[in-house]
Chain A
Amino acid sequence: MKRLRLACILILTVSPWTSFGGVRHFTFLYEAPTSAQESLELENWVTWQRITNPDRSDEVDFRHELEYGVTDKFQVSVYLADWFYESNREQSGFTYSDSAIELIYNLTNPVDDPIGVSVYGEVKAGDRLIELESKLIAQKNFGPLILAYNATLEAVWEGNELEDREGEFSQAVGVSYEISPRISAGIELLHEFVFPEWRDEEKIRNLFVGPNLSYRHRNWFVTVTALAQATDTDDEPDLQVRTIFGIGL
């Protein structure tokens, strides 16, 4: 505990003179610009989800991510740990989920080019879990307005012998408006198609929508999004709130 406190004090003391990976205006979408070359940032994610259909349960997911700008157009991130707290009728407690590596390459600029585009790849591995994810990230900036779009394809293998397979295709759209140099507000919409066992006939459709708010100051930022489910899918969250806190190291 003493060491953790010391580390926090060190980070907060040193960081005002250090570089910064970048602010997130959205939490369920990625943006096209990548981190500046040689910048390093720590991001902490917390996502709370409430499911009420068919039974009520709560889950809080945590992620600790280090983001590094290899060049101005190429960014590497390491998810040091994804873990979660689960509370339902049968059990409650913390569980380690996985770790991952994420690569993002920026192709075009959202201010100068007609559309800013980046490509994203992620490999995740955990306790009886392997996941591959690819993403196309598009963005356009109009003055203080940011429009973003993500198309994501995900493949998951789970279970003792990784026998359970699942695919997911999701699309997300977001709008963020910079109200002042420090504050942005907007909306995010997430549309998911889940394919259990990669079968089209069993597909599950989810739609989530909700507002976001982002605040940045010096070398840190915090962004919060609250998404409500607009569909009535079993075992999917009715409400989820995600907070990302980032600090330049």
Chain B
Amino acid sequence: MKLKRLAIFAAAIVCLVDLSSCGTTSFAPPPPVTAELALAGAHQHVDLAALRKGRTLFVSRCIECHTLPAVSQHSATEWPRLIDEMAGRANLKSTERDAVLAYILVAHSQSR
């Protein structure tokens, strides 16, 4: 009986959380560094190595505190401020911070 009550309670929370996210959330990982993304990066003067490094740092350092937002979730003007706010906490050096931002902005330009 006790177990049944707990199971119903747990299921209710899962449903509530699930409904709240319905249709508004991306569950996909950040876009990989493909040839297409590399080309877009080249147009923005970002080399392939920086894109790869930026993505690796994005999917490893940022998830220590929070889940990853879709790159399209914030505008290209918002991202630099957001990255600056969190770079210290993620222990990102300035070159690493630049790589993360470069990757996000290039991926963002391709997400529209």
Contacts and interface: CB of A to CB of B under 8 A. Distances in A.
Interface of A: 16-23, 33-39, 69, 72, 109-112, 141-146, 175, 177-179, 181, 185-187, 189, 207, 209-211, 216, 218-219, 221, 228-232, 248
Interface of B: 2-3, 6-7, 9-10, 13-14, 17, 20-21, 25-30, 59-61, 63-70, 88-91
A105 B14 CA distance: 30
Contacts of A23: 64-66
25 contacts: A17-B88, A19-B89, A19-B90, A20-B64, A20-B90, A36-B61, A36-B91, A38-B91, A72-B61, A141-B67, A141-B68, A143-B25, A143-B28, A143-B67, A144-B27, A144-B67, A146-B67, A187-B14, A209-B6, A209-B7, A211-B9, A211-B13, A228-B2, A229-B2, A231-B3
Contacts of B26: 143
Given A144-B67, A231-B3, 17 more contacts: A16-B88, A17-B88, A19-B91, A33-B64, A143-B25, A143-B67, A143-B70, A144-B25, A179-B20, A181-B66, A189-B10, A207-B3, A209-B10, A211-B9, A218-B89, A230-B3, A248-B89
Given A37-B91, A219-B89, A144 B21 contact: yes
Contacts of B30: 111
B13 A141 contact: no
A236 to B, nearest CB: 13
B91 A69 contact: yes
A107 B18 CA distance: 30
A229 B3 CA distance: 8
Nearest to A34: B64
